[in-house]
Structure 1
Amino acid sequence: MRMSDVLTPSQRKYCMSRIRGKNTKPELHFRKVLWAGGFRYRLKNRLAGKPDIVFPGKHLVIFVDGCFWHGCPEHSQVPKSNRGFWEEKLAKNKARDQEVNAILMQQGWKVLRFWEHEIKKALPECVERVASLIQETEE
């Protein structure tokens, strides 16, 4: 038996419209910690995929990916209602992420991607990954 959505279509539409693609809580938290640690980055850019954080001088870009929208292997679950739509949508998101990575790497950028759950649970390790990659580029 298929379970229907507990919200009306107009309520669901409103809820989904409130989801933002930038300045999410994990992204803001990560940026604040990086800035406090002395890392200077840029936000506005015209690069493929519109990275969340850019270190232009180091040719390093960072994406903070939401577990649902980018298909986290640990947390992503396809909604039960309208399953076909969501499977296609999430598959396209994953394919686009891989394509953006390839484009940026061809242009000479180093690409780091963090899951939102990594930022929430292992922030020091995420900052360390950024620091070690920046240090590599300075050598």
Structure 2
Amino acid sequence: MSSSDDVKPEALPAGSWASSAARRRNMQAIKSRDTTPERKIRQLVHARGARYRVSARPLPDLRRTADMVFRSAKVAVFIDGCYWHGCDEHYVPPKTNSGYWSDKVARNIARDRDTDQKLTEAGWLVLRFWEHEESDACADKILTEVRSRRHQV
């Protein structure tokens, strides 16, 4: 018997939120930035001549990052995932460990509203889009708002 036959199943760390080692690996592999919808929208906005910061803090003292930040126009763009941010159309509660994940999504939604409020109070325009929205329409809206706010300054 070789040492490879003695492989034991991966153990979960103490207090892990994951229902299994496989689920933990799967959830850890989910990207928090540079998702396909983000990249598509960024590409369209960039191709139309706008420049922005990626995954940047709009406010230095606020420990939250926007997917796209237009500093001179004070526009912060968020492209929210349907599952993680509780889309009314597409969010489906999980079947396993539902209490944990439903609470996490609820906390994400509360944090999103808090972020919106803090940025708005600081004079920023917050644009939020769902990952399922048409990329061209999102890019058009972003460019319209950024150009409008730059002309106001």
Q: TM-score, normalised by structure 1?
A: 0.87
Q: Does 1:20 align with 2:31?
A: yes
Cα RMSD for the two superposed structures = 1.3
1:18 CA displacement? 0.2
1:107 aligns with 2:122: yes
Partner of 1:78: 93
Distance 1:112 1:64, change over 3 A: same
For residue 110 of structure 2, give the secondary structure of its aligned residue in structure 1: helix
Three-state SS of the structure 2 residue aligned to 1:53 is strand
Structure 2 partner of 1:127: 139
Count of aligned residue pairs for this structure pair: 129
**Counterpart Cα distance in 1 of 2:120 and 2:99:** 32
> What does residue 5 of structure 1 align with?
none
**Paired residue type of 1:72:** C
Quote the Cα distance in structure 1 between the aligned partners of 2:81 and 2:43.
18
**2:53 aligns to what?**
42
Which ranges in structure 1 are unaligned for 5 or more consecutive residues? 1-7
User: How much identity, in percent, do the aligned residues show?
Assistant: 39
Higher helix share: 1
Contact 2:82 2:130 in 1 (8 A): yes
The structure that has the greater radius of gyration is 2
TM-score of the pair, normalised by structure 2: 0.80
- 1: CA distance, partners of 2:66 / 2:38: 11
Match of 1:94, as an amino acid?
Answer: I
